[in-house]
Amino acid sequence: MARSKKDPLQNTLAFERPVAELDLKLKELTAKLKEQGEQPEAELLAELDQTTERRDAALGDMVSQLTLWQRIQLSRHMNRPVSADYIEQLCTDVVELHGDRTFGDDKAIFTGLATLGPRRVLIVAHRKGRTTQARIECNWGCAHPEGYRKALRCMKLAVRMNLPIVTFINTPGAYPGIGAEERGQASAIAWNIFEMARLPVPIVSVVIGEGGSGGALGIGVCDRLLVLENAYYSVISPEGCASILWKDGSRAEEAAHALKLTTGALTELGVADEILPEPPGGAHRDKGRAAEILGEAVERHLAELSEQSDAELLAGRIQKYRHIGSFNPDPAASARDVPAS
């Protein structure tokens, strides 16, 4: 029995399809152009130019009209670059470190020494995997407590080696299964938050896709938090929020608006230090360019942080988290809001 031909657009989101169809047409025309060699037909060249113009116009329209929910879909895109893509393109001399020395090695968390730009660093990253089998092995980026304990063990090693730490965040949340809870999931994340707050080395975290709940924060306490344009960083995933508030996960889009899952809100509240632009249409459309943008930003922030002393670094980290959010500093205004007894 003959296998069915793979649909080249099977991983395309509905709102991307008009652009993806024109991309496919351009690919076919380019292949024909190569077949014709140095003397291509004038009609083929004209068709190629017209299709390129149509594709660029469709892409511009799509980008200008992206909704909040569509951006969240882009953060989860099947073809979106994962941590392994960024590590492979940006890092050399990578040495992966395994195990928490207590229970096991969680594949949902990658830890390793690497050279990034001019300096040696420790990389800690959520790992989702590229294929279905790899995603199953990595539990779709939902880490177990041994993953967070491995991360902390390696972060303390980085301190002993005086190496900066770079973390890539990409998870809908930590794994909530019974086994994970029995092995101390909440405690593992809490200890990571506590210890990361006082590690005397520069820490730069980048949200490359999903940044959900304590699963993200478990490797996200840092001096500089960078967020890709079509990523999100939230106390909970939209589906989790909808399930808790309304007992209906299908209301995830409504929950996303209630949570204000926009990158603009992250900078306004002081959570994110910089929003990194993505190639038009999302990081998956040009993985190489997306990695260049991310790598330049990480190197720039590491260079700035490396100029600070340990005391300045820790004081700045404390102030960063103390100033997150908004409050009313006017005591008189606060008093007026208190109802009379």
Confidence check: pLDDT of 339 > 60: no
Q: How does pLDDT run across 85-114, given as a tens digit for each residue? A: 999 999 999 999 999 999 999 999 999 999
**Nearest C-alpha neighbor of 212 from the set 226, 232, 189:** 232
Q: What is the rounded (10 degree) CA torsion for 322, 83, 279, 120?
A: 70
Q: Which residue has the higher pLDDT, 128 or 40?
A: 128
125-164 b/e with 16+ CB inside 10 Å = b? Answer: bbbbbeeeeebeebbbbbbbbbbbbbbbebbeebeeeebb
Is the pTM above the cut of 0.85? Answer: yes
Q: 313 with 197: CB under 8 angstroms?
A: no
* CA–CA dist 77, 14 (Å, integer): 12
Other Cβ atoms less than 10 A from the Cβ of 238: the count is: 25
Amino acid at the residue 221: V
Cα 170–Cα 295–Cα 119 angle in degrees, nearest 5: 110
Q: How confident is the model at residue 287 (pLDDT cuts 50, 70, 90)?
A: very high
R_g over Cα of the chain: 23
Q: Which helix (H) or strand (E) holds 121?
A: strand 119-126
Q: How does pLDDT run across 296-307, given as a tens digit for each residue? A: 999 999 999 999
| E-state strands within 143-295 | 165-171, 203-212, 224-228, 232-234, 274-276
* CA–CA dist 170, 211 (Å, integer): 6
pLDDT at residue number 1: 44
